[in-house]
Amino acid sequence: MLLLTGGAGFIGSNLLASLNEAGRPDIAVNDILGSDGKWRNLAGRQLTEFVPPADLSRWLDGRKLDAVVHMGAISSTTATDGDLLMENNFRLSLRLFDWCAATRTPFIYASSAATYGDGAAGFSDDRSLAALKRLKPMNLYGWSKHMFDLAVVERVARKDKLPPQWAGLKFFNVFGPNEYHKGEMMSLVAKRFDDAKAGGPIRLFKSHRAGIADGDQKRDFIYVDDAVAVVRWLIETPAVSGIFNVGTGQARSFRDLVTAMFAALGREPKIEYIDMPLSIRDSYQYFTQAEIGNLRRAGFDADFTTIEEGVKRYVSGYLDRADRYR
């Protein structure tokens, strides 16, 4: 059996679906469903057990698992409750890591590109303590993930008892089905698809930096199927450990993303540019791009989906249908 925390969330539910489709139903999901419709991410899926967070420690006691895939976290970049984030994103992660070390269970967990902060220190997934300590996350969420990365690498450096496999995944800008419960944390495609279909314009920020055109701010957008493929490859390759960026390695602009959405609808792009709010103008990231050399050297050799193909699949397979869930 495999334990999947955050299994009703965005990446977690897509991983669950992929594993089910590959013929694996023996998965225990740990999550909170709440009242925002997140349960729909599990509709039609197979799972062996559903474990509420309050029961997790008791449920793990004496149990043997094939692996723990820890995707659960408070992932809002605007979260402000530091104690809650540290309990969920740091202390729970440490407890799971230590349990996996004690029981010799592979441990794969979600880190985040938010750990890189404004990108001034680059986007290299160098897992040395010296490299990690140079990173300065810009929000509480990124900091909580960064603190856990540091704690893991410190344990590795001290040669503490470790899980037989440990892997942290710094996800960049993942988009795709089952992200609808995330509110303002949804991708731009999900948030603005209905506007585009209704014939309205999509508003993007003007650039306030010399040499960068309006709408040409760039991110490393990765379709969720590709993010899932990396997790599944790690599950199937237990000899690989480390911290890895999960992005395409190719930054694309918000204008490219929106143009791909209009193309998927068979329409010419309709874009308006608006001033960036003063409150975020000084801290806004103009560029993120994953360095994926570590992932390639570890043996992951699959191609990544282009932004045009990923948006097309998302629009035609999910957003432009009555049932948008995977």
Q: Is 139 a member of any domain?
A: yes
Q: Is 326 a member of any domain?
A: no
Catalytic residue among 136, 182, 191, 206: 182
Q: Is 234 a member of any domain?
A: yes
159 is catalytic: no
Catalytic residue among 109, 116, 141, 318: 141
Average pLDDT for 10-33: 97
Q: Model confidence over 81-102: pLDDT tens digits?
A: 899 989 989 999 999 999 999 9
Q: Is 65 a member of any domain?
A: yes
Q: Model confidence over 208-266: pLDDT tens digits?
A: 999 999 999 999 999 999 999 999 999 999 999 999 999 999 999 999 999 999 999 99
SS3 of 33-53: CCCCCHHHHHCCCCCCEEECH
283 confidence band (pLDDT: 50, 70, 90): confident
* Interatomic CA distance for residues 245 and 239, integer angstroms: 18
Q: Which residues contact 293 (CB under 8 A, 6 or more apart)?
A: none
Q: Is the pLDDT of residue 19 over 90?
A: yes
133 is catalytic: no
Residue 186 falls in which region: left (phi positive, over 0), alpha (psi -120 to 50) or beta = beta
Average pLDDT for 150-165: 97
**Angle at the Cα of 137 from the Cα atoms of 89 and 11, rounded to 5 degrees:** 45
CATH number reported for the structural domain that contains residue 226 in this entry: 3.40.50.720
Please tell me the predicted confidence (pLDDT) of residue 43: 95
Q: What is the DSSP letter of 305?
A: P
Q: Is 315 a member of any domain?
A: no
The answer to which of 73-77, 136-140, 238-242, 300-304 has the lowest mean pLDDT is 73-77
Q: What's the structural domain count of the chain?
A: 1
Where helices occur in the chain by DSSP H, the ranges are 10-21, 56-60, 82-85, 92-103, 129-133, 140-158, 188-197, 224-236, 254-264, 278-281, 293-298, 307-314
Looking at the DSSP bridge assignments, the partners of residue 29 are 4, 50
Q: Is 52 a member of any domain?
A: yes
Q: Is 275 a member of any domain?
A: no
Please tell me the predicted confidence (pLDDT) of residue 185: 93
Q: How many residues does the chain have?
A: 326
Q: Is 212 a member of any domain?
A: no
| Boundaries of domain holding 141 | 2-176+221-250+287-305
Q: Pick the closest to residue 260 from 223, 302, 289 (CA basis).
A: 223
